[in-house]
Amino acid sequence: MDLKKDELKLTPDLFEKLDENEKNAEKIAYESKTYFQDAWVRFKQNKLALAGLCFIIFMVACCIIIPIISPYTYDGQDMTNSNAGMSMAHLMGTDKFGRDILVRIMCGGRISLSVGAIAALIALVIGIIYGGISGYVGGKVDMVMMRFVDMMYSIPDMLYIIMIVVVLEPSMFSILLGISISSWMGMARQVRAQVMTLKEQEFSLAAFVLGASKSRILFKHLIINSMGPIIVSVTMLVPSAIFNEAFLGFLGIGLSAPQASWGTLANDARQIMMAYPMQVVWPVLAICLTMLALNFIGDGLGDALDPKKK
Amino acid sequence: MAKYLLKRILIGIVTLFVLSSVTFFLMKATPGSPISSEKYKTPEAMQAAIEKYHLDKPVIEQYGIYMNDLLHGNLGESMVSEGRTVAYFIGNGFPVTAKVGSIAFVIALVGGISLGTAAALSEKKWVSNLCMFVATIGVSIPSFLIAMLLILVFGVTLHIFPFVGLRTPANYVMPVIALSLYPISMISRLTRSSMIEVMKQDYIILARSKGTPYKKVVIKHAIKNAMLPVVTYAGPMFAFLLTGSFVVETIFSIPGLGSTFTSCIMNRDYPVIMGVTIFLGILIITFNLITDVISASIDPRIKLK
């Protein structure tokens, strides 16, 4: 190519006008979105999941606001007005000590929902660290760590939880401890599987070549990239923690009176179910709807965060 | 196969050992002595009780005695009801629990598989939507709440089914429904997804193109191959039915192992709690082992490592 500059004359007739249709060929019409924005678009399309999310937001708001604005307290007894039915003064009636059921359910919701959320978070942290290390280090360490998980897994969680709560005496701390000890194993397995597949990929090697430390690769690259499935299993952990807590309340080893969670409320009402069936219905409804909503959210998130699944 | 079995049994034994040790030390860590002065009026009686339960010996020695007893199948004695052994409670309660549980087990299998198959194969969209709706509800609502709702609707309001004890066959209806609804939902979900997967396989298309009737293809080829996840789920389901019996039996006043366990928790009867926990642990671990071996042997694609 010994073409000299003066030999090539650029004249306007060498060019032709771009066709209108081709003008925008390179333009990306679809607005570029991050992973989570994209997931949110998919999540919104799932009506059930959206309804579940709205319900949970509504429930949380009620649990926070109603006890504050209500003239009643969760332990304020009024023996002259016990076991009252629904009325304007007490929207859900009163229990055998004349306490307002609506306020008690909302206060119970504070406890049940926070037990669910905190237990899921604890399980998440333990699971990420344990599963991350097991999956990233691999080899013998992984073998031993996973055999331990298998072992813990083969015993039903309820047995641990009951044992721990019985031994430590029922309290918020022992219930949380029991539930989190029994629920981190699934999370650890999930994280491990994710880390195992991701650590073979190029971006992990690239980070290594650039001199990133092992813990940086693990926590800043591998864990962040497996966030989708992890978030889905966290949303599934919340209802199971709420369930376990309610189960304990039902067995009579929940929080002690006058504090009450949904499980203990349902259990208290069970004893006078024949005479006042409505008192059972409210806490049962609260638990069922919340668990249903959380399950819908979990399913929706599963589809939204993992587009390959559908 | 033999190597795999041996390995699984070994892990099972280690698990049991850990479970019983943890149980023992947890119980030892309980604040307050189980021998209270309210129950034993004289110091002599109290001393006798302390010696009987070896509470005067160091913890390690107690652990040795306990483990030795355990190896000989001796699960100990109740501290609340005088003179009753843990084995007595298990012997009395477990047959009842097993009866209710096995009915629920069968119902869950039959109901779940048929629901899931219907959901997977039906041409009409509403059938599959309905099945999946039932499944979602069953997964979301805890068994004890289902039990209470059933009692409210069919027992207290409509008076259709009795709900105290187990005297007549009608007594079984509600506890069995309460126990089996969750496994039914799980099994129908599993069956549906694996059925959809199986129906796309080449051997189904081959069978159909050879002119095999649709019903025969479904029953002889599809269901058989779609059952693998269900067999794997049988282990967790067994565990679920046992732990579910704790509250369901209490609610329906069924004199089974579950309600015994619940009342022992209330009374803080530690030896019985410990003994029943270990008994359930043994059962569940054995059952898990059996399901693993079965699912591995019916599907040669699963490698026995």
Cα gap A274→B267, rounded to integer Å: 26
d(C-alpha A265, C-alpha A101), whole Å: 9
Greater pLDDT, A188 or A256: A188
End-to-end CA separation in angstroms for chain A:
54
Query: ipTM score here?
Result: 0.76
Q: For position B34, what pLDDT does the model report? A: 59
Q: Residues B256-300: pLDDT tens digits?
A: 888 888 888 877 777 888 888 888 888 888 888 888 888 777 777
Q: Is A106 on the interface with B (CB under 8 A)?
A: no
Query: Pick the residue with more confidence: B302 or A50?
Result: A50
B15/A contact by beta carbon, under 8 A: yes
Cβ neighbours for B104, distance < 8 A, ≥ 6 positions apart: B175, B176, B179, B180, B183, B241
Answer with the residue of higher pLDDT: A86 or A233: A233
Is B139 close to A163, i.e. CB distance below 8 A? Answer: no
Task: Flag whether residue A144 sits within 8 Å of chain B, measured between CB atoms.
Answer: no
Q: Per the CB < 8 Å rule, is A159 touching B277?
A: yes
Determine contact: A155 vs chain B, CB below 8 A.
yes
- Burial (CB < 10 A; 0-12, 13-18, 19+), residue A57, is exposed
**Tokens (6 digits) for B23:** 């149980």
Does A282 contact chain B (CB < 8 Å)?
A: no
- How high is the pLDDT of residue B124? 82
Q: Assess A274–B contact: CB distance below 8 Å, yes or no.
A: yes
Res A160: pLDDT:
80
**In 3D, which of A187, A160, A128 has the Cα closest to residue A248?**
A160
Nearest Cα of chain B lies from the Cα of A216 at a distance, in angstroms, of 33
The pLDDT value recorded for residue B189 is 87
Q: Which residues of A touch B265 (CB under 8 A)?
A: 162, 166, 251-253
Q: Which chain B residues contact residue A290 at CB under 8 A?
A: none
Tell if the CB–CB gap between A163 and B142 is shorter than 8 Å: no
Whether B255 shows a pLDDT value over 80: the answer reads yes
CB contact under 8 A, B239 and A169: no
Top residue of A143, A161, A163, A165 to mutate, by most chain B CBs within 10 Å, is A163
For testing the chain A interface, which of B7, B22, B24, B145 should be mutated: the one with the most A CBs within 10 Å? B145
Q: What are A157-184's pLDDT values in tens digits?
A: 788 888 888 888 788 888 888 888 888 8
Among A95-109, B38-52, B231-245, the minimum mean pLDDT is found in B38-52
According to DSSP, residue A100 is labeled: B
More confident residue, A252 or A25: A252
Tell me whether residues B243 and A159 touch, CB distance under 8 A.
yes
Q: Tell me the shortest Cα–Cα distance from B179 to chain A, in angstroms.
A: 14
Give the per-residue pLDDT at A51.
Answer: 92
For chain B, positions 139-178, list CB contacts with chain A under 8 A.
139-142, 144-145, 148-149, 151-152, 156-157
Q: pTM of the entire structure?
A: 0.79
- Assess B277–A contact: CB distance below 8 Å, yes or no: yes
Q: Is B21 on the interface with A (CB under 8 A)?
A: no
Residue A62 has pLDDT above 60, yes or no: yes
Which chain A residue is nearest to residue B9, measuring alpha carbons?
A: A151
Work out the burial of residue B63: count CB atoms within 10 Å of its CB; fewer than 13 is exposed, 13-18 middle, 19 or more buried. Answer: middle
**Which of A158, A163, A169 faces B243 most closely, judged by CB atoms?**
A158
Per-range mean pLDDT, top range of A124-133, A165-174, A278-287, B217-226:
A124-133
pLDDT band at A310 (very low <50, low <70, confident <90, very high): very low
Q: Residue A11 has what DSSP assignment?
A: -
- What's the whole-number average pLDDT of chain A? 82
The rounded distance, in Å, linking the Cα atoms of B254 and B175 is 9
Instruction: Kindly determine whether residue B15 and residue A154, on different chains, have CB atoms separated by under 8 Å.
Output: yes
For residues A69 and B162, what is the distance between their CA atoms, to the nearest angstrom? 43
What pLDDT is recorded for position A260?
81
Contact B265 A270 (CB under 8 A): no
Q: How confident is the model at residue A56 (pLDDT cuts 50, 70, 90)?
A: very high
Q: Count the neighbouring beta carbons within 10 Å of the beta carbon of residue B208.
A: 14
DSSP string, A186-204: HHHHHHHHHHHHHTTSHHH
| Shortest Cα–Cα distance, B152 to chain A (Å) | 7
For the ranges A60-74, A284-298, B123-137, the maximum mean pLDDT occurs at A284-298
Pairwise CA distance, residues A133 & A142, whole Å:
8
Contact criterion met (CB < 8 Å) for A291 and B141:
yes
Distances in whole angstroms, Cα of residue A34 to Cα of each of A219, A304, B65, B291: 20, 13, 62, 44
Contact check, Cβ <8 Å, A277/B12: no
